[in-house]
Amino acid sequence: MAIQGVFFMPHPPLAVPAIGGGNERKIQKTLDGYKAIAKTIKSLQPDRIILVTPHGNAFKEALVMLFEEHVSGDFAMFGYPELKVDKVIDLTMTQTLYKAFEACKLPAMLLDQSKATEYGIEVFLDHGALVPIHYIDRDYSDYKIVHITTSYASAKVHYKIGEVIAEVLEKSEDTTVIIASGDLSHALTEDGPYTYNPYGKVFDNLVREAIKGQDPSALLTLDESSIEAAAQCGLRSFCLGFGAMAHRHYKSKVFSYEGPFGVGYLIGELVPIE
């Protein structure tokens, strides 16, 4: 069955109330957006969720796909190791996608525990996956996941990856939604986490207009200096999401956008029109 929807979600750990300690209320529009997406996913009841994140184990050109049946993650790096999540990987679909990427000469890696040990890394759920999961699971948790970490390949390559994912899912009997996890510019203000850059707001507007206008071409043609100036982490995830809907008629919506901490947080969706 085809994709039921692509959902753009940011991943600030402070959005989790136990971590935010009240500061999460400063991004109330984002919290409301999370809840709206979770409600939609509950209504769709997908068999699987493909989580696309920039914060897992990243390689220069190869996507990384977790390949252990059970995976877990926590917020220890943010001071909350007791906040844990465990999920089941859809191994069959993960391997099917891997083979499809190989056939299209799109570099990818299946990361199981053996290979992780070889590289001195871990098989884990990163916060780019954990924050969206936190809100989705409040309403609906009966799904398996495919966990994909974006590479450092271009936005156009990730768009192509999205197209390949869509082709594979068309042949599946199970239902799927895609979560494109990513924050926008980290350089929106002088007191943000990165040095202020006026291009940050330009980039964030490009993303918003791409969703509203259903046209990611401006994102796909950004040069490296602009991408670096934006100080973002979501571009490749978002372009993959657009690629997954490239050959479908869909409606789009930006639920919210805000950046009170100097980082742009956007909630949006691309939902097919049957």
Q: Which whole number is the average pLDDT over 81-106?
A: 97
pLDDT in tens, 148-193: 999 999 999 999 999 999 999 999 999 999 999 999 999 999 988 8
Mean model confidence pLDDT for the chain: 96
pLDDT of 2: 84
Asked if residue 127 has pLDDT above 90, the reply is yes
pLDDT of 244: 98
Asked if residue 230 has pLDDT above 90, the reply is yes
Share of the chain above pLDDT 90, in %: 96
Based on DSSP, count helices (H) and strands (E) in the chain, helices before strands: 10, 10
Asked if residue 17 has pLDDT above 90, the reply is yes
Cβ(266)–Cβ(256) below 8 Å: yes
Closest CA to 162 of 174, 144, 145, 150: 150
pLDDT of 78: 94
pLDDT of 97: 98
Q: How far apart are CA 66 and CA 121, in angstroms?
A: 12
Q: Which whole number is the average pLDDT over 217-232?
A: 96
Share of the chain above pLDDT 70, in %: 100
Asked if residue 274 has pLDDT above 80, the reply is no
Q: How far apart are CA 4 and CA 212, in angstroms?
A: 18
- Is the C-alpha dihedral spanning 8, 105, 230, 55 positive or negative? positive
Q: What angle separates helix 127-139 from helix 28-44, to the nearest 10 degrees? A: 60
Q: Which whole number is the average pLDDT over 63-92?
A: 97
Asked if residue 1 has pLDDT above 80, the reply is no
For domain 3-272, the CATH class is alpha beta
